[in-house]
Chains A and B, each alone.
Chain A
Amino acid sequence: DGGITQSPKYLFRKEGQNVTLSCEQNLNHDAMYWYRQDPGQGLRLIYYSQIVNDFQKGDIAEGYSVSREKKESFPLTVTSAQKNPTAFYLCASSIWTDLSGANVLTFGAGSRLTVL
């Protein structure tokens, strides 16, 4: 079955450490996205990528980095520069057309990062 796989599901990090969250999709989608979710807030866009080797900052990119070396993979690194990294992180993918942009997003199951 096609879908999006995020790993790990739960991750604990000490302050000052970088961590990388994995996101893999086998839906053959062009675009991939990373969102951050905090209690009582909507989904905030961190980074997105429309094609391989290209990505764009979202609304809250500071303290995060991404890469898109393969169509299927879009890892997110939470750096030590992120002041409040404890959150639930969601990866998503969609087809993308020049005319209408992003189509419906399909989400992964999420990764919960806790900074100790």
Chain B
Amino acid sequence: GQQLNQSPQSMFIQEGEDVSMNCTSSSIFNTWLWYKQDPGEGPVLLIALYKAGELTSNGRLTAQFGITRKDSFLNISASIPSDVGIYFCAGRRGNQGGKLIFGQGTELSVKP
């Protein structure tokens, strides 16, 4: 099955730094979701995007639905140790029967 291209695969940053990750696809999507997975747990929804160009914030997190509808970005400002985990993007195309397609994940490590 198709997967989204998510980058980077991993990041090692210092506490307080800003983080940016993105997902791209060769196809147009009508929904973009960003999830965070803590070690040994299930993913939890962070932000949902439904319109091209939409920019949504959730605390220190900001995500954008790309204008081309083929990409999405997630930014984390002023990182803290509890930001550690795997971040997944997920997208849905209108002709996929509603199924979500997931990126490979970005593993974030934060050094205090």
Contact = CB atoms under 8 A, between A and B. Distances in A.
Interface of A: 4, 6, 35, 40-45, 48, 58-59, 90, 92, 96, 100-102, 104-110, 112
Nearest to A111: B42
Given A44-B1, A45-B99, A110 B105 contact: no
Interface string B12-55: 00000000000000000000010100001111110010000000
Interface of B: 1, 3-4, 6, 9, 33, 35, 40-45, 48, 88, 90, 92, 96-100, 102-105
Contacts, number: 59
A101 B97 contact: yes
Given A40-B104, A42-B103, A109 B98 contact: no
10 contacts: A35-B102, A42-B88, A42-B102, A43-B43, A44-B1, A45-B99, A100-B98, A102-B98, A104-B45, A109-B42
A60 to B, nearest CB: 8
Contacts of B100: 102, 105
User: Which residue, of B4, B6, B43, has the highest number of chain A Cβ atoms within 10 A?
Assistant: B43
B98 A107 contact: no
Closest 4 CB pairs of A and B: A101-B98, A59-B1, A107-B42, A102-B98
Nearest to B1: A59
B99 A48 contact: yes
Contacts of A110: 40-42
A41 B92 contact: no
Nearest to B44: A107
A90 B43 contact: yes
Contacts of B98: 96, 100-102
User: Which residue, of A43, A44, A104, has the highest number of chain B Cβ atoms within 10 A?
Assistant: A43
Contacts of A109: 41-42
B42 to A, nearest CB: 3
Contacts of A102: 92, 98-100
A112 B14 CA distance: 31
Contacts of A107: 35, 42-44
Nearest to B89: A42
